[in-house]
């Protein structure tokens, strides 16, 4: 099978500033047809042609799965990141033709749940936009708790309150409002599933508390796409393809492998799906594992790496690619 | 030019037959003179005209008769069709997939008209013309999965994906090779494959599950599986073992050609868009030995495959009892010359 997913040729139909940090992008199919149906929690990988660089970043679909005339994503500007969000904010205008992937869902609703309890932090609200729309359309039972820094950075908080009223609770950091998590988790009916999307610290906090309070792991769902982190450049030998490559400061290992003309599989590019898992043939140095896929044992073994988000510091790294 | 649907039976007087064109399009599953398990999965893309892969969902001359047989099975045993409560959305996904594919491949027989949520489905071979509201179960005579799979050849397992595994939480299973939906419903991938010998040791299921959980929307996959059945019986379920099991003792050198059937399953795997489930259609093709050996390459190769099959596999596939008779009969059609590569007849 070829790598990644089937591609869609789209045109940017609208670009809408949402607040000081977040911009929404609308895509339609270039041929005017409907886009593929998707399920709440799905993401697409957006291909960005930035000069001679190609960036591939995943973003959650936030529109209603019941309406596929267009796809919408929301992107928070990251001024110190590797430049993907800045490219989207600065260079992507209505009318631009782009390529995106078919939707992939790694944060699916568990449709057995009697109730869906959702916890969002910051831009982590986007998958819940689609999931709440899907559940509301089918009469599903959900409750959304959403923390943001200030009211003005509460992306879509007003939209959600208007759509769903008291099913949405807001918490603002600047007013020192915090989720009373233990109380919230302890008061849920049997059969509730918990979903959390937001900063790593929030995800860890929620997962820890849920585990301490006896929530079965199968009922706790989380999505955290680790963005690849910049770091010192390093050299890699690709044993199968017989190439030596340099991974730049702002480049991920996966991107460097792709730039060398090798086509490894991927789905999420965020360290969670497992598709790009690569065997290490030999190494002399330190791995910087940033993924959520490999076990701690795998990390310690030095035998595997997830090139989408992880890096290396040292003299020698040979990969089976 | 439409398909001429045969009038035939898969029980009692067993009048099932393949026309000469259908013999040549039979999905013969052996591309070499020996058989062993492999994760023989490939992209499910459209294949040559005139083959069973001409359309991604195949409709053939047996369509009407198979649907009548399915109705008989369901009338006797409604548990052949089950859907756990959380799988209704996946049933709508499947209804859309099958209506789209059948209408696309066979416009002379099937028509799908959509007007927002109001859909009209015309199935000419079965005389159906229904208008319903997509997503509203009360507008159909059955649940969405049952409605459409009463009109689609093959069995259908709908799998829920969660916790890194696949769960058989819905299905329409009336043409199976000795397994039971009623038994397997609610099981995960490893649980329902537990009885298969040899493959666990080879790590096949772990790799297959990893592949299947990564099946993407718009990129279906497929594989072939096979066994043998005595008499052209579609329903060889454990529930009806008392009806078909004793048939295996009836094979004689005189009736091998007429009674012994190669049973090939074309299994495909599709990601469903709304539910994020996976549907696994298992399309069953039957061919009797007399029909199969009209293609000399297939006769030679099948002889070698059955003769050399490992004992555990022969037992698992239920061939033990009549294998010597079959091998002896096939050996007379094997002149020892080499077979050409590939699945197709010469």
Query: How many Cα atoms occupy the beta-carbon half-sphere of B194 within 13 Å?
Result: 6
pLDDT at A211 over 90: yes
Q: Tell me: the pLDDT tens digits for B11-41?
A: 999 999 999 999 999 999 999 898 876 667 8
- A62/chain B closest Cα distance in angstroms: 14
Contacts of B219 in chain A (CB under 8 A): 1, 5-6, 102
Q: Where are the alpha helices (DSSP H) in A198-252?
A: 200-212
pLDDT at A5 over 80: no
Q: Which residue from B89, B219, B273 is facing A38, i.e. has the nearest CB?
A: B273
For residues B246-269, give the mean pLDDT: 95
pLDDT of residue A293: 85
pLDDT of residue B100: 97
pLDDT of residue B69: 98
Percent with pLDDT over 90 in chain A: 83
Query: How many Cα atoms occupy the beta-carbon half-sphere of B60 within 13 Å?
Result: 24
For residues B281-294, give the mean pLDDT: 98
- A141/chain B closest Cα distance in angstroms: 13
Contact status of B43 with chain A (Cβ, < 8 Å): yes
- Interface mutation vs chain A, best among B274, B277, B278, most A CBs within 10 Å: B274
Contacts of A108 in chain B (CB under 8 A): 161-162, 276
Q: Tell me: the pLDDT tens digits for A143-193?
A: 999 999 999 999 999 999 999 999 999 999 999 999 999 999 999 999 999
Q: Which residue from B84, B85, B214 is facing A275, i.e. has the nearest CB?
A: B214
Question: How far is B274 from B267, CA to CA, in rounded Å?
Answer: 22
Query: What is the three-class DSSP state of A305?
Result: strand
Question: How far is A254 from A266, CA to CA, in rounded Å?
Answer: 9
pLDDT of residue B37: 66
pLDDT at A303 over 50: yes
pLDDT of residue B202: 64
Nearest residue in A to B214, CA atom = A275
pLDDT of residue A22: 97
- Interface mutation vs chain B, best among A4, A29, A39, most B CBs within 10 Å: A39
pLDDT at B63 over 60: yes
Beta-carbon contacts of B28 under 8 Å, excluding residues fewer than 6 positions away, are B262, B264, B292, B295, B298, B343, B344, B345
Q: Which two tokens stand for residue A64?
A: 């209603």
- On whether the CB atoms of residues B57 and B98 are closer than 8 A, the answer is yes
- Interface mutation vs chain B, best among A8, A58, A64, A111, most B CBs within 10 Å: A111
CB atoms A102 and B276 under 8 Å: no
CB-based burial label for A17 (10 Å; 0-12, 13-18, 19+)? exposed
Nearest residue in A to B87, CA atom = A111
pTM: 0.89
pLDDT of residue B204: 77
pLDDT of residue B35: 83
Q: Which residue from A6, A39, A274 is facing B274, i.e. has the nearest CB?
A: A39
CB atoms B214 and A6 under 8 Å: no
Measured in whole angstroms, the distance separating CA A114 from the mean position of its chain's CA atoms is 26
Question: Beta strands B221-230 and B42-43: pairing type?
Answer: antiparallel
ipTM of the complex: 0.84
| Residue numbers of B annotated as active site | 223
Percent with pLDDT over 90 in chain B: 80
Contact status of B221 with chain A (Cβ, < 8 Å): yes
CB-based burial label for B192 (10 Å; 0-12, 13-18, 19+)? buried
pLDDT at B133 over 50: yes
Q: Tell me: the pLDDT tens digits for A240-287?
A: 999 999 999 989 999 999 999 998 988 888 888 888 999 999 999 999
CB atoms B86 and A39 under 8 Å: no
Q: Tell me: the pLDDT tens digits for A66-76?
A: 889 999 999 99
Contact status of B114 with chain A (Cβ, < 8 Å): no
For residues A22-27, give the mean pLDDT: 98
Q: Chain B, 80-99: which have a CB under 8 Å from a chain A CB?
A: 84-87, 89, 96
Contact status of B276 with chain A (Cβ, < 8 Å): yes
Contact status of B297 with chain A (Cβ, < 8 Å): no
CB atoms A111 and B274 under 8 Å: no
Q: Which residue from A111, A218, A267 is facing B89, i.e. has the nearest CB?
A: A111
Q: Which residue from A5, A39, A273 is facing B276, i.e. has the nearest CB?
A: A39
pLDDT at A1 over 60: no
- On whether the CB atoms of residues B75 and B11 are closer than 8 A, the answer is no
Q: Which residue from B87, B217, B274 is facing A65, i.e. has the nearest CB?
A: B274
pLDDT of residue B48: 93
For residues A34-45, give the mean pLDDT: 95
Q: How many CB pairs under 8 A join A and B?
A: 61
For residues A68-89, give the mean pLDDT: 93
CB atoms A103 and B273 under 8 Å: yes
For residues B203-215, give the mean pLDDT: 84
* Closest of B162, B161, B168 to residue B182, by C-alpha: B168
For residue B169, CA distances in Å to A284, A312, B79, B88 come to: 48, 43, 13, 10
Contacts of A37 in chain B (CB under 8 A): 96, 273-274
């Amino acid at each position: 099978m070829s790598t990644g997913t089937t591609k869609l040729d789209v045109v940017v139909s609208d670009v809408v500033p949402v607040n000081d940090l977040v911009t929404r992008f609308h895509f339609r199919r270039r041929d005017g047809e409907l886009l593929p149906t998707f399920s709440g929690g799905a993401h697409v990988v957006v291909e960005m042609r930035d000069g001679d660089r190609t960036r591939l970043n995943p973003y959650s679909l936030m529109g209603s799965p019941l309406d596929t005339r267009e796809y919408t994503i929301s992107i928070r500007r990251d001024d110190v990141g590797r430049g993907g969000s800045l490219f989207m904010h600065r260079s992507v205008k209505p009318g631009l033709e782009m390529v995106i992937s078919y939707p992939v869902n790694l944060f699916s609703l568990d449709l057995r749940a009697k109730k869906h309890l959702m916890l969002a932090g910051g831009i982590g609200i986007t998958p819940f936009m689609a999931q709440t729309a899907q559940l509301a359309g089918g009469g599903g039972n959900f409750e959304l708790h959403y923390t943001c820094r200030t009211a003005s950075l509460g992306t879509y908080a007003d939209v959600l309150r208007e759509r769903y009223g008291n099913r949405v609770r807001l918490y603002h950091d600047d007013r020192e409002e915090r989720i009373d998590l233990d109380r919230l988790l302890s008061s849920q009916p049997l059969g509730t599933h918990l979903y959390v999307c937001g900063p790593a610290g929030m995800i860890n906090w929620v997962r820890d508390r849920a585990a301490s309070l006896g929530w079965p792991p199968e009922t706790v769902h989380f999505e955290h796409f680790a963005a690849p982190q910049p770091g010192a450049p390093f050299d890699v030998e690709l044993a199968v393809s017989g190439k030596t490559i340099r991974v730049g400061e702002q480049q991920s290992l996966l991107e460097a492998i792709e730039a060398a003309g090798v086509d490894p599989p991927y789905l999420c590019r965020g360290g969670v799906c497992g598709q790009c898992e690569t065997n290490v043939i030999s190494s002399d140095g330190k791995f910087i594992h940033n993924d959520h896929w490999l076990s701690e044992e795998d990390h310690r073994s030095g035998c595997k790496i997830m090139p989408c988000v992880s890096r290396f510091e040292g003299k020698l790294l040979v990969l089976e690619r | 030019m439409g398909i001429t649907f045969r009038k035939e039976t898969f029980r009692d007087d067993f009048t099932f037959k393949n026309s000469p064109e259908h013999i040549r399009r039979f999905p013969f599953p052996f591309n070499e003179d020996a058989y062993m398990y492999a994760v023989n999965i490939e992209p499910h893309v459209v294949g040559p005209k005139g083959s069973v892969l001409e359309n991604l969902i195949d409709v053939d001359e047996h369509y009407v008769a198979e649907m009548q047989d399915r109705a008989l099975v369901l009338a006797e045993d409604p548990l052949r069709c089950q859907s756990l409560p959380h799988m209704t959305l996946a049933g709508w996904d499947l209804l859309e997939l099958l209506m789209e594919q059948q209408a696309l491949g066979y416009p002379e027989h099937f028509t799908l008209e959509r007007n927002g949520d109001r859909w009209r489905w015309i199935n000419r071979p079965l005389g159906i013309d229904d208008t319903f509201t997509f997503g509203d179960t009360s507008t159909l005579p059955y649940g969405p999965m049952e409605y459409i799979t009463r009109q689609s050849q093959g069995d259908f397992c709908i799998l829920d994906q969660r916790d890194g595994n696949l769960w058989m939480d819905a299905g329409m299973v009336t043409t199976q090779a000795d397994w039971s939906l009623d038994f397997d419903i609610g099981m995960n991938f490893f649980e329902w494959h537990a009885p298969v010998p040899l493959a666990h040791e080879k790590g096949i299921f772990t790799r297959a599950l990893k592949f299947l959980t990564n099946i993407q929307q718009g990129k279906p996959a497929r594989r072939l599986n096979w066994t043998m059945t005595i008499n052209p019986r579609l329903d060889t379920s454990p529930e009806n073992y008392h009806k078909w099991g004793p048939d295996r003792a009836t094979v004689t050198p005189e009736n091998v050609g007429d009674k012994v059937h190669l049973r090939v399953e074309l299994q495909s795997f599709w990601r469903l868009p709304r539910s994020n489930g996976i549907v696994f259609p298992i399309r069953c093709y039957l061919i009797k030995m007399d029909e199969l050996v009209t293609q000399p390459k297939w006769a030679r190769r099948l002889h070698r495959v059955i003769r050399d099959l490992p004992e555990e596999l022969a037992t698992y596939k239920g061939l033990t009892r009549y294998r010597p008779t079959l091998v002896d009969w096939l050996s007379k059609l094997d002149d020892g010359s080499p077979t050409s590569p590939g699945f197709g007849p010469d």
